[in-house]
A and B are shown apart, each in its own frame.
Chain A
Amino acid sequence: MSLRADLEIIQQWIKPGSHVLDLGCGEGELLRHLRDHKQVQGYGLEIDPEKINACIQHGVNVLEQNLDKELNNFEDNSFDTVVMTQSLQAMHFPDRVLEDMLRIGHEGILTFPNFAHWRCRWYLGTKGRMPVSEFMPYTWYNTPNIHFCTFKDFEQLCRERGIKVLDRLVVDQTHKRSWLSGLWPNLLGEVAIYRISR
C-alpha cells in the first residue's frame, strides 16, 4: 500500500514508538502505517460512520467524536504528536482546536489548503466569485470549509498565540515541492504541512 503523499511526509516527522492522536483520521491510513512501520500506538477521531467502520476493519483504534465539540476528555500532554490533516478550515473554532492540539500533544502536525494561492486569487479577481476548483469543489453555501485561511493568516495566529512553527513544507496539490513555491509560498503554495509546538 502506498501512502497518500502528505501522509508520507507527515510520517517522517513522527518518532518510532510514540503516542499519536489523529484528529479526523478518515479510514486510518496514517495510523495504520505508523502502527505497522513505526510501532506507534495511535488513536483516531472520526465522525463519518463509513470511515469509522473502515478503521475498525483495519484494526485501527478509532473514537467517534466530533472535533468541533470540546476535546476536554483528552488530558494535557497525554500524546507525543497530535495530527490534523485537511480539517482546520472545516472547524467552527479553528483557533480552539489548534490550542487543544498543543495542550494534548507535545507537538502538532497539520495541513490545510492555502486560500492565497495564485489560482484562488485569479478566480476571485477575474470572476468576482468564490473559487471553485477540482481541489475545492464546493460552492460557498454547501462547503464544509467554513474557515479558509492563507499561510500568512495562519502564521499570524501562531505568533499571536505564542505557537512555534518548527517546520513548514509548502507543496502543490499532489504534495510535491517546487523551488518556486519555496520562493513565494503564500502565492504559489497550495497546501502547507506545518509542524508546531509551544
Chain B
Amino acid sequence: MSTLPADSVGLVTPQRHTFSEPLQLACGKALASYDLVYETYGQLNSAADNAILICHALSGHHHAAGYHSEDERKPGWWDSCIGPGKAIDTNRFFVVSLNNLGGCHGSTGPSSIDPESGKSYGASFPVLTVEDWVHSQARLADVLGVQQWAAVVGGSLGGMQALQWAISYPERIRHCVAIATAPKLSAQNIAFNEVARQAITTDPDFHHGEYAAFGVIPKRGLMLARMVGHITYLSDDSMGLKFGRELRSEQLNYDLTSVEFEVESYLRYQGQEFSGRFDANTYLLMTKALDYFDPAAAHGDDLAKTLAGIQASTLVMSFTTDWRFSPARSYELVNALLAAKKQVSYLEIEAAQGHDAFLLPIPRYIEALSGYMNRIEVTS
C-alpha cells in the first residue's frame, strides 16, 4: 500500500544516459564523454510537444519531484510545483529534470572518475558555463525525442539556463519561465561568491582541489561557503521573524566562541549538513558558472540586441524581499525583452522569504505559474 500523497508523481527512478560524442566547452576544452542523470514525470505525447525542462539552481539536482522510496522523508526539491494537478501539471506535461554537468549527484562532475586517468577528475575538471549546460541539455532533449520544449523553467541559476535556452536555441523553446534571476551577476553577487570560494580553497583539506587523493574533504570551507551563501538566500525580515535575537541559553556567556544566538546555531547546522553532502569542486564550478553568465557581453552589452532572435514567450517573476536577485534585476530582463518587442509578462510577488521564496509554495506565485503553464498549448 502506497502512503505517498495523491498529488505526488509517486515513486521515481533516476535514469542515466552516457553521451559519447565529445562536447566542446566555452573554456576551450572538450569532454570526450559524459553521463547525465535525470528524472522524468508524466508522459511525452505523440506530437512530442508537451515537454518541460526544469533547470536547477546552485546546489540543486535532478530529483525535483516525487519520492525515490516509500521511506524517503522529503520529496524532490520542487514537489510543490510538479505533479498531477499542480502548477506544472504532470497530467498534461512530460517533465524532465536533470543534474547538470559538473554536478555531484550522478552526472559527470569533478568527483567522477576520469576514464583517461582512472582517478577522479578533481581540479582538472573543466570549468563550465551556463551555455555549456544548455548545449548538454539540448543533447539530452535529442535523446528523449524532444525537438522543442513547451517550456524551460528555472529559478535563480536555473532561470539563467532558461534564458540561455531562449537565446541559444530559439526554435527549440516555446516558453521561457525565468524566476528570481538576473541577466548577469552584479559586483556584489560576485563578491559573495568569491568569499565562498575563498572559504573552500583556503581550507587546509582542499589540497588544490585534489582532496579525494588525500582521502579528505574541505568540510570547513564548504560549511563557511554555505553559511555565507545561505545568508544571501534569506531576507532580513525572514531572519528576524525566524530567529530575531533569540538566545540558545538563558543569558549571554561572555565568551568569544560558543554558539549563543539561535541564528548562529541555524547557520552552523545548515553549513554542516551541506558540507556532508556536496562536493567542494562542484560548488566552485557552480559559482563560477554564475559569475561568468553574461549573455549580453557578446553583443556589446546590449541585452535587447542579445534577445533579438528569441522566439519564446517569457514569464519573469521576482520577489519583493529578494536582495540576491532583486526585482530590479528581473526588470532589466523585462525591459530588454520589451525593447526587443518580445512577448513578456512580469510579476513582482510580495514575499518575506527573500531569494528562497522561489522554492516555496507562496499562493500568488503558484497561482501565476499555474495560470501561465495552463495556457501553454499542447496536443492532447
Contact = CB atoms under 8 A, between A and B. Distances in A.
Contact of B344 (A19, A58, A61): A61
B347 A78 contact: no
B15 interface: no
Nearest to A57: B371
Contact of A73 (B335, B341, B343, B348): B335
Contacts of B375: 56-59
Interface string B313-355: 0010000000000000001001100110101111110000000
Contact of B348 (A53, A59, A61, A64): A64
A56 B331 contact: no
A61 B345 contact: yes
B341 A56 contact: no
Contact of B338 (A43, A49, A53, A57): A43
Nearest to B374: A57
Interface string B166-187: 0000000000000000000000
B278 interface: no
A57 B376 CA distance: 10
B339 A78 contact: yes
A55 B334 CA distance: 17
B368 A52 contact: yes
A101 to B, nearest CB: 16
Contact of B371 (A41, A53, A61, A64): A53
B367 interface: yes
Contact of A63 (B339, B344, B367, B372): B344
A188 to B, nearest CB: 41
B368 A63 contact: no
A53 B345 CA distance: 10
B319 to A, nearest CB: 12
B364 interface: yes
B346 A64 contact: yes
Q: Is the interface of A mostly helix, strand, loop or mixed?
A: mixed
Interface in A25-80: 41, 43, 49, 52-53, 55-65, 73-75, 78
A56 B364 contact: no
A60 to B, nearest CB: 8
B345 A55 contact: yes
A49 B364 contact: yes
A58 B345 CA distance: 12
Contacts of B339: 75, 78
A64 B347 CA distance: 5
Given A43-B338, A74-B338, A56 B368 contact: yes
A73 B327 CA distance: 14
Nearest to A44: B345
Contacts of B345: 55-56, 60-63
Contacts of A61: 343-345
Q: Name the 10 nearest CB pairs between A and B, nearest first.
A: A57-B371, A56-B371, A63-B346, A73-B335, A64-B348, A59-B375, A62-B345, A64-B347, A56-B372, A61-B345
24 contacts: A41-B341, A41-B343, A43-B338, A43-B344, A49-B364, A53-B364, A53-B367, A53-B371, A56-B315, A56-B347, A56-B371, A57-B375, A58-B375, A61-B343, A62-B345, A63-B334, A63-B338, A63-B344, A63-B345, A73-B331, A74-B338, A75-B339, A78-B338, A78-B339
Interface of A: 19, 41, 43, 49, 52-53, 55-65, 73-75, 78
